[in-house]
Structure 1
Amino acid sequence: MKRKQFKKIFWGVLFLLGAAALLLGRLGYLEGVNFWSILFSIVLIGLFVDGVLNRSFGEILFSLAGLVILNDEILHLEAITPWPVLGAALLGTIGLNIIFPKHSKYKNHPAPPYPSKAGHFSQNTQEFVSGEEIRCSASFGHSVKYITGRDISRIILESSFGNLEVYFKDAALKNNRSNVLVECSFGNMELFVPADWNVTINVRRSFGSVEESGVGNLSGGNTLFLEGSVSFGHLVIHHI
């Protein structure tokens, strides 16, 4: 079974369990059990498995932290919730990413296939996007976007409970600059930027991490101005 198919089935089963818990709770079979705690626990378990499959330390540790916070009374771990366990998840994410850095797929592997003449991809999660203003998003899944075209002035990137990879392939910025709004919550985002571009990072972090791999061109040229927020997520900028 392919990973993508497995993830779809896994998430489908989790939400079916959530539906069953809702009905059983209304019928009184789950008396004394908070339905919302069950629902959020199911989602967090799904994120944990997704993090293991994608080797995302942030997703793994923060989903575990969320499970501990939701079930601290049952686990008798009230002394370390919520801030100590969240702080430990953040520091653990940073430490593991330093020890086991992700290597650029762009360098070590051939680029994913281009679309055929009919406009179809070999994988449904890949897409080429262009225009003066561009929006890319991923939610509960893995998505790969290739930004191309000319006169790009504004880019919006959103990842919520998902993994988003963005490649600036054959892209030309308007007046050699572009504003990039990043909104990453409970997800992961990786930007693959040409080595001769500069990236200015002004991103708010709420129990999230921002990492830059490699060094861009500080002397000028094309510049991306990153702003926005990373909450319980992970953002990596690769200079390739």
Structure 2
Amino acid sequence: MSTNSKWSQWFWGLFFLASAVVLIGSQMGWFTLHLTFWQIVFGLILSATFFQSIGEISAPGIVFSLAFLAILFAHPLGITRLVPWTILGAALLLSIGLSMILSPLQKRDRSHGLKVIVNGSTKIGDSTETIAASEDQLVKIHVRLGNAVRYVQLPDFRAAQIDMQMGDAKIYFDGSEIPAGEATIDLDAKMGELELFVPRDWRIDNQLQTFAAELTEKGTQADQLGPVVHLTGRMSMGELTVHYI
């Protein structure tokens, strides 16, 4: 398990534990500040977005999460004179300015995040590094904080792992073949939109676990029976579209 993955697990684990304590404590009167149930829920969500955005160096995520927190807790903060549109307008200007300042850091971070390992070749940005091909012909696609288009073209496609966090990705499998008659696409997707383009004769076996996510299929499948592709893993707070082409 990578260091980023371990950090993410620790962060979200502690965050949800702290959220449970805050939620219970607010109802039991442990805190002097009285907040409504929905203020607490949305406040926790926005706080998580803020810290996540810091880790991802996302200026819009940082600024707008703080802006919505300010709107949500305007009365306790004593800023009721500021109307929501004023706060959001200032957030927009701050977001644009910070995005320009942080752009070099974002590009450097994305160059490590937007990568694909296909048939033994690792591509990061515009560079290509050749590595030893895995014995199981595993395809690994990692998308983080950005848009990505990937083409998987393998004569013997068997398995793929797609890791997407806060991004949009289009992945084309129409150039691949499955001579074994069976393959697996495993997802770990959070907060984003993922589109899979597969041949019309592929049969998708949906075993995907979802939370606040939508799965749709577009296109017409071929009449003849083709290989079976098991769709496994999990997707939360996003949208998955399977195109048959």
What's the TM-score, normalizing by structure 2? Answer: 0.48
Structure number with the bigger relative contact order (C-alpha 8 A, sep ≥ 6) is: 1
Q: Radius of gyration: which is bigger?
A: 2
Q: TM-score, normalised by structure 1?
A: 0.49
